[in-house]
Amino acid sequence: MLSAFRKYLLIPRLIRLSSSAPKDPLTAWDTYWGNVRSTGAAGDVLWDSGSDHELEGYLPKFSVLDQSLPIVDVGCGNGSFTRSLARHFPHALGLDYAENAVERARLESDGSTTASYGVCDMTVPDASRTVATALGRAGYSGDANVFIRGVLHVLDRKGRAALAANLLPVVGQRGMVFLAETNFPGTPVDYVTHLGATKDSIPAPLEWAIRGLPMPGRFGAAQRRKAFPAADWELVEEGEASIETRPLSNPSKPDVIPGYFAILRAR
Give yes or no for a contact between 180 and 149, defined as CB atoms under 8 angstroms apart. Answer: yes
- Determine the length of the chain: 267
Question: What is the rounded end-to-end Cα distance, in angstroms, of the chain?
Answer: 50
pLDDT score of 163: 98
Domain annotation covers residue 204: no
pLDDT score of 240: 97
Do strands 145-149 and 177-182 pair parallel, antiparallel, or not at all (unpaired)? parallel
Q: How far is CA 171 from CA 136, 152, 264, in A?
A: 15, 18, 10
pLDDT score of 4: 60
pLDDT score of 3: 58
- Give the range of the structural domain holding residue 62, as residue numbers without chain letter: 25-181+216-266
CA angle 127, 142, 123 (to 5 degrees): 15
Strand-by-strand arrangement of the 233-244 sheet: 115-119, 92-96, 71-74, 145-149, 177-182, 256-266, 233-244
pLDDT score of 2: 41
Domain annotation covers residue 252: yes
Q: Which residues of the chain have pLDDT under 70?
A: 1-6
Please report, for the domain that includes residue 257, its CATH number: 3.40.50.150
For CA atoms 39, 45, 50, 56, give the dihedral sign. negative
Domain annotation covers residue 67: yes
pLDDT tens-digit series, residues 98-121: 999 999 999 999 888 999 999 999
Give yes or no for a contact between 200 and 238, defined as CB atoms under 8 angstroms apart. Answer: no
pLDDT score of 5: 61
Domain annotation covers residue 8: no
Partners of 72 in beta bridges: 93, 146
Domain annotation covers residue 251: yes
Domain annotation covers residue 45: yes
Give yes or no for a contact between 91 and 116, defined as CB atoms under 8 angstroms apart. Answer: yes
How far is the C-alpha of 54 from the C-alpha of 74, rounded, in Å?
17
How far is the C-alpha of 93 from the C-alpha of 82, rounded, in Å?
7
* Number of domains into which the chain is organized: 1
CA dihedral 167, 165, 266, 65 (to 10 degrees): 30
Domain annotation covers residue 15: no
Domain annotation covers residue 248: yes
Question: Among 196, 266, 208, 194, which residue's Cα sits nearest to residue 232?
Answer: 266
How far is the C-alpha of 109 from the C-alpha of 90, rounded, in Å?
16
Q: How far is CA 125 from CA 29, 121, 165, in A?
A: 20, 9, 9
Partners of 193 in beta bridges: none
